Amino acid sequence: MLKLLWKGAALGAAAVAGLSLAIGAWGTKPANAEGTLVWAQPAAMSLMDPPQSCGWLTKNATHMIFDGLVELELGKPGEPWATLRPALAESWTISDDGLVYTFNLRKGVNFHDGTPFNANVAKWNYDRFLDPEAPQYSKVGAAFLSFYARWVASNEVVDENTFRVTLNEPNYEWLQMGQSSCGQPEMISPTAYEKYGEEDIAIHPVGTGPFKFVEREIDVMVVLERNDDYYGEAPKLDRMIFRQITDPATRISALRAGEVNMVTEPTWDEIENLVDEGFQLLLQPNVPSVWYAQFNMKNVALQDIRVRRAINMAVDREGVAREILKGTGHAEHGMLSAGTFAYDPSYKPYPYDPEGAKKLLAEAGYADGLDLSFEIFDYGWNEAWEKWLQRDLKKVGINLKLTKLEWMTYLGKWLQGMPEDVAMNSMGWGWSIPYWTAHATRCDHHPPNGINGGWYCNEKIDALYAEAIKTQDKNKATELYREANRIIMEEDVAFLPVFSYHNPILLAPNVKGFVNGQENWYDFTLPWIE
């Protein structure tokens, strides 16, 4: 077990006796700071055009190339959850009825190709985001972009530096929705789009962000360089290189050899050794994601709620947190993550009860066992908890067949929804707003219009979400989100939540100033190489 410290203070329940690790790399940059940060990533990036892209690995590059009107504050890990800050909009106002958003845009901002950003460009981008007939809506990010765009009734240019968006109904989480890792409303250069076209703009990204795109070798690497003309504080790094190294052992070897200086999804068996060798381990101060399996409501066996309850009772979640996460995460019993204001740490409807699970399966007609299929993705240590799940279900008579897919292949299938013969699929996803669960649960978010690939539907849930986003009272919203979560988990049993964890990052000793923020992507303007 690891003892995890953050700025000298113990990190809640994750703190246990053992190795003491710093989880922040703060400090003041020397005047001559520079260098190249090379990040060994566990999977390939998707398309690098904000409305088409999907996945937190891609987001880490695209949000450095592009800016939205607003962005998440990623550099202040002391906050209880992520908050918004100005980006291309210096400020914004929301009308009393919650419908009209007026953005006061920065002056003198240019894209990387030298063309200006202004309100006309903002409108051009929003028109593209909002057009369901646009080509990007055939791509993986579309389900998420539509989740954001569906609320917009109109957008307009007020003057050169003022842009206005009007919603069709109040939604006090709307701006936060645009900060997802898929389908982001970030600004691209219309001139670059005209030059490269719909297909090639994704491999020639041109934004206004702190880094400029240099080159990409598909499934190998992406290279960015500092934008010295950035309107904000310029990055301290000269360059960033995102290298795809799928094998965990190879990533660690590259770190030890000095070929890379940042690794995510490290193998837990290696962490203590690497820290002893002088490498830095950083952990997310909060937990924005829930790792879960989604039940397929079209699967014959899983249409019986007793089977779904039995699966929830059969899984030793605490064992996953203890043995796989090594104390750096915690068991999850619901679909609201600890990174949201609505989280309830006391919510535990399904204790570990294998005998109770066997009884429910027998009542459902499966006393002699049951065969189910489970699609998973090939990504870092993800397979470890799914094999744990496979083992636990075997103990109660469920034979779980794991089908492992490459990440981008899996993502494409995930967004299509599960066919009847697939019982479950998995995902670890969310961000610091409780409304993210609506992505996977709303009745009108069945593929291809969303990511409710388990074909779940309960109109009571939709009504609770609709009421929650219309209130600015966080106490009232919390009650509504918790009630929705209770119905999803107890009345309908639509998911198997398993755990949340403090996303680990290993850094070489010469990486300074890195902050592991509240989401699964990072502000690369902060670090430097000593």
Three-class DSSP category at 417: coil
Can you give the pLDDT at residue 358?
A: 98
> Is there a single domain that holds both residue 179 and residue 318?
no
**Are the beta carbons of 205 and 213 closer than 8 angstroms?**
yes
Tell me, yes or no, whether 19 lies in a domain. Answer: no
Tell me, yes or no, whether 332 lies in a domain. Answer: yes
Per-residue pLDDT band for 8 (boundaries 50, 70, 90) equals very low
Least confident stretch, 230-244, 320-334, 371-385: 371-385
Task: Calculate mean pLDDT across residues 200-210.
Answer: 95
φ/ψ (deg, to 5) at 192: -65, -40
Most confident of 5-14, 138-147, 490-499: 490-499
> Is there a single domain that holds both residue 388 and residue 343?
yes
Tell me, yes or no, whether 402 lies in a domain. Answer: yes
The answer to whether residue 10 scores a pLDDT higher than 60 is no
Domain total for the chain? 2
Task: Give 505-519 pLDDT, tens digit per residue.
Answer: 999 999 999 988 778
Can you give the pLDDT at residue 339?
A: 82
Can you give the pLDDT at residue 275?
A: 92
The answer to whether residue 37 scores a pLDDT higher than 80 is yes
Helices (H), 238-347: 248-257, 268-276, 305-314, 317-319
> Is there a single domain that holds both residue 509 and residue 496?
no
Q: Which pTM value belongs to this model?
A: 0.85
> Is there a single domain that holds both residue 365 and residue 302?
yes
Task: Give 209-249 pLDDT, tens digit per residue.
Answer: 999 999 999 889 999 999 999 999 899 999 999 999 988 88
The answer to whether residue 133 scores a pLDDT higher than 80 is no
> Is there a single domain that holds both residue 123 and residue 220?
yes
Can you give the pLDDT at residue 319?
A: 93
Task: Give 82-91 pLDDT, tens digit per residue.
Answer: 789 999 999 9
Task: Calculate mean pLDDT across residues 472-493.
Answer: 96
Task: Give 434-443 pLDDT, tens digit per residue.
Answer: 888 988 899 9
Tell me, yes or no, whether 275 lies in a domain. Answer: no
Of all helices (H) and strands (E), which one includes residue 165? strand 162-167
> Is there a single domain that holds both residue 508 and residue 421?
no
> Is there a single domain that holds both residue 512 and residue 439?
no
Tell me, yes or no, whether 21 lies in a domain. Answer: no
Task: Calculate mean pLDDT across residues 127-132.
Answer: 87
Task: Calculate mean pLDDT across residues 90-101.
Answer: 96
> Is there a single domain that holds both residue 48 and residue 119?
yes
Tell me, yes or no, whether 327 lies in a domain. Answer: yes
Task: Calculate mean pLDDT across residues 176-195.
Answer: 92
Can you give the pLDDT at residue 192?
A: 97
Task: Calculate mean pLDDT across residues 191-197.
Answer: 95
Tell me, yes or no, whether 277 lies in a domain. Answer: no
Can you give the pLDDT at residue 135?
A: 72
> Is there a single domain that holds both residue 119 and residue 216?
yes
The answer to whether residue 500 scores a pLDDT higher than 80 is yes
Token couple for 131? 């057009």
**Are the beta carbons of 515 and 231 closer than 8 angstroms?**
no
Per-residue pLDDT band for 32 (boundaries 50, 70, 90) equals low
Q: Which domain holds residue 482?
A: 290-501
Cα(407)–Cα(298) distance, rounded to whole angstroms?
24
Residue (of 380, 157, 152) closest to 266 by Cα position: 380
> Is there a single domain that holds both residue 240 and residue 332?
no
Can you give the pLDDT at residue 212?
A: 98
Task: Calculate mean pLDDT across residues 173-185.
Answer: 88
Tell me, yes or no, whether 3 lies in a domain. Answer: no
Task: Calculate mean pLDDT across residues 350-379.
Answer: 94
Can you give the pLDDT at residue 516?
A: 83
Sign of CA dihedral 441, 49, 241, 254: positive
The answer to whether residue 520 scores a pLDDT higher than 90 is no
Can you give the pLDDT at residue 167?
A: 97
Can you give the pLDDT at residue 383?
A: 75
Could you tell me the CATH number of the domain that includes residue 423? 3.10.105.10
The answer to whether residue 21 scores a pLDDT higher than 60 is no
- Measured CA distances, 106 to 94, 209, 258, 319, 488 (Å): 18, 13, 40, 51, 43
Provide the phi-psi class of 306: left if phi over 0, else alpha when psi is between -120 and 50, else beta: alpha
> Is there a single domain that holds both residue 300 and residue 424?
yes
Token couple for 193? 């789009």
Cα(282)–Cα(24) distance, rounded to whole angstroms?
6
Cis peptide before 448 (omega within 30 of 0): yes
Could you tell me the CATH number of the domain that includes residue 220? 3.40.190.10
> Is there a single domain that holds both residue 58 and residue 142?
yes
The answer to whether residue 345 scores a pLDDT higher than 60 is yes
Distance of CA 4 to the CA centre of its chain: 23
The answer to whether residue 432 scores a pLDDT higher than 70 is yes
Per-residue pLDDT band for 460 (boundaries 50, 70, 90) equals very high
Can you give the pLDDT at residue 140?
A: 64
